[in-house]
């Protein structure tokens, strides 16, 4: 059995708060602070340029990728780190599109994160393809013969609704299309099984449930059957077969390494690598069971104590990721009042209160505290204070 009391202790959680926003920015693992300090003191400062070889900075995008592979049901040498998720979405969709010459349609849904849709739209315009966006429930029926790429985020960032990755991938394969799965709200939250679902491409970020820190690099995975055929569009020197030959012609590296672009973010990778230590000994089926326990308790608790909010997430845990969304007409002010009372979730326009339940550090005490505080804030109307209506740049 996974020791979730021990994983919780691995994080610095400020006193007096219940942190239910690990789906937006994971908290700091204590080991990450120490690891970055050590990286500065022993690697950058003393080794200087030698750190690329001596400290393994050059191979880190792959060694860290191998550690993430276990958490997403992938194999070794199939995942590489770098850039931001938006860039990795571009790389995956453009490479998938190129593997389906003669087809022009990219299909996604309106529950996808805007950046994924913006990137796909920009790509489609540049190469003369078409981005089709349908409602989440209509995705299966919109998979038609001319489809090139199905691009979906497994768990909806706003509602927590979870797509059936295996079923939709099978449906896409029936018509000869490829799939790109965004695991931003899945990796570190669910028992993801990319090889089991027979997916083609996957991408994700590491600053949410993987706790790599603000701006931590993204990952990309390609099924081994495509890895040597996928042609990168962002042909960076670090994805070249021989970067230090400085050839004028691009020749992709073997396998997933070709999805590297430029110089990796070494300091951020050090923090992420330490954050991944927390996952040693965590079973993904235990993770999923705990996630369901926490979200079910929160839904039951708010359902009984908070009549003014409406559940905006699927009631069936099988159809849900590791977050719960509630709707309230004054959601922004209600969330500000909650944050002031030490319960940290977030707001998503126009009327959504979002609560992430990260099994590594959240427990039933957090759930109880969140339910009680929300019930009180709604009952006493304290959210109506003028200060709680002022908007910040980041919500």
Ligand X SMILES: *Cc1c(COP(=O)(O)O)cnc(C)c1O
Phi-psi group of 126: left, alpha or beta (phi > 0 → left; psi -120 to 50 → alpha; rest → beta): alpha
Please tell me whether residue 150 binds ligand X under the rule CB under 6 A: no
Nearer to ligand X, 272 or 375 (CB): 272
Strands 346-348 and 28-29, bridge-based pairing: unpaired
Annotated ligand binding at 249? The verdict is no
Annotated ligand binding at 182? The verdict is yes
Annotated ligand binding at 116? The verdict is yes
Please tell me whether residue 184 binds ligand X under the rule CB under 6 A: yes
Please tell me whether residue 182 binds ligand X under the rule CB under 6 A: yes
For the record, the structure tokens of 90 come out as 């571009």
Please tell me whether residue 11 binds ligand X under the rule CB under 6 A: no
Report, in Å, the least distance between residue 10 CB and ligand X.
23
Question: Which one among 205, 278, 306, 352 touches ligand X, defined by CB under 6 A?
Answer: 205
Please tell me whether residue 159 binds ligand X under the rule CB under 6 A: no
Report, in Å, the least distance between residue 183 CB and ligand X.
8
Rounded to whole angstroms, how far apart are CA atoms 305 and 301? 6
Report, in Å, the least distance between residue 132 CB and ligand X.
18
Nearer to ligand X, 50 or 214 (CB): 214
Q: Please name which of 293, 222, 213, 283 lies closest in space to residue 255, comparing C-alpha atoms.
A: 222
Nearer to ligand X, 181 or 383 (CB): 181
Site for ligand X in 82-111 (CB under 6 A): 84-86
Please tell me whether residue 201 binds ligand X under the rule CB under 6 A: no
For the record, the structure tokens of 274 come out as 């330490």
- Secondary structure element (H or E) that encloses residue 88, with its range: helix 85-98
Question: Which one among 7, 153, 186, 312 touches ligand X, defined by CB under 6 A?
Answer: 153
Question: Which one among 62, 67, 100, 185 touches ligand X, defined by CB under 6 A?
Answer: 185
Annotated ligand binding at 85? The verdict is yes
For the record, the structure tokens of 136 come out as 């989440």
Nearer to ligand X, 87 or 333 (CB): 87
Q: What's the residue count for the chain?
A: 395
**Residue 112, C-beta contacts closer than 8 angstroms, at least 6 positions apart:** 133, 151, 152, 153, 156, 182
Q: CA distances (Å), 252 to each of 224, 242, 323, 356, in order?
A: 15, 9, 39, 39
Question: What string of DSSP letters covers 298-345?
Answer: HHHHHHHH-TTSEE-S-SSGGGB-SEEEEE-TTHHHHHHHHHHTTEE-
Burial tier of 283 (Cβ tally within 10 Å: 0-12, 13-18, 19+) = exposed
Nearer to ligand X, 8 or 163 (CB): 163
Q: Please name which of 276, 213, 269 lies closest in space to residue 39, comparing C-alpha atoms.
A: 269
- 354 bridge partner residues: 325, 346
Stretch that binds ligand X, among 64-72, 180-188, 310-318, 379-387 (CB under 6 A): 180-188
Nearer to ligand X, 105 or 268 (CB): 268
Catalytic residue positions, numbered: 113, 182, 207-208, 354
Please tell me whether residue 395 binds ligand X under the rule CB under 6 A: no
Annotated ligand binding at 263? The verdict is yes
Question: Which one among 58, 115, 121, 293 touches ligand X, defined by CB under 6 A?
Answer: 115
Place of tokens 């965004």: 182
Annotated ligand binding at 44? The verdict is no
Report, in Å, the least distance between residue 84 CB and ligand X.
3
Annotated ligand binding at 298? The verdict is no
Residues contributing to the site for ligand X (CB under 6 A): 84-86, 113, 115-116, 153, 157, 182, 184-185, 205
């Amino acid at each position: 059995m996974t020791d979730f009391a021990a994983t919780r202790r691995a994080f610095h959680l400020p006193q007096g708060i219940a942190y239910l926003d690990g789906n937006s920015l994971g908290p700091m693992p204590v080991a990450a602070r120490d690891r970055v300090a050590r990286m500065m003191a022993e690697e950058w400062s003393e080794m200087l340029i030698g750190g690329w070889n001596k400290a393994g900075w050059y191979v880190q995008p792959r060694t860290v990728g191998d550690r993430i592979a276990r958490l997403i049901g992938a194999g070794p040498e199939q995942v590489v780190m770098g850039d931001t998720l938006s860039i990795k979405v571009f790389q995956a969709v453009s490479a998938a599109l190129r593997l389906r010459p003669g087809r022009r349609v990219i299909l996604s849904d309106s529950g996808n994160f805007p950046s994924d849709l913006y990137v796909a739209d920009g790509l489609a315009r540049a190469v003369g393809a078409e981005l089709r966006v349908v409602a989440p429930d209509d995705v299966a029926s919109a998979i038609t013969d001319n489809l090139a790429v199905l691009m979906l985020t497994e768990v909806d960032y706003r509602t927590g609704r979870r797509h059936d990755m295996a079923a939709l991938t099978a449906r896409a394969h029936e018509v000869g299309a490829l799939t790109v799965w965004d695991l931003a709200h899945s990796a570190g939250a669910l028992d993801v099984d990319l090889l089991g679902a027979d997916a083609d491409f996957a991408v994700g970020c590491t600053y949410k449930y993987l706790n790599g820190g603000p701006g931590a690099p993204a990952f990309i995975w390609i099924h081994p059957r495509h890895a040597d055929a996928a042609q990168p569009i962002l042909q960076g020197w670090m994805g070249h077969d021989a970067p230090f030959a400085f050839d004028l012609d691009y020749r992709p590296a073997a396998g997933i390494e070709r999805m590297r672009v430029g110089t990796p973010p070494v300091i951020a990778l050090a923090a992420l690598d330490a954050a991944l230590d927390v996952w040693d000994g965590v079973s993904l089926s235990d993770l999923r069971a705990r996630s369901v326990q926490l979200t079910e308790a929160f839904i039951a608790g708010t359902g009984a104590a908070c009549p003014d909010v409406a559940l905006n997430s699927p009631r069936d845990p099988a159809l849900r990721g590791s977050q719960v969304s509630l709707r309230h007409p004054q959601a922004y002010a209600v969330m500000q009042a909650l944050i002031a009372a030490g319960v940290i979730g977030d707001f998503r326009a126009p009327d959504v209160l979002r609560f992430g339940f990260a099994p590594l550090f959240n427990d039933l005490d957090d759930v109880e505290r969140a339910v009680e505080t929300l019930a009180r804030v709604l009952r006493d109307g304290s959210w109506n204070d003028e200060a709680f209506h002022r908007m910040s740049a980041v919500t």
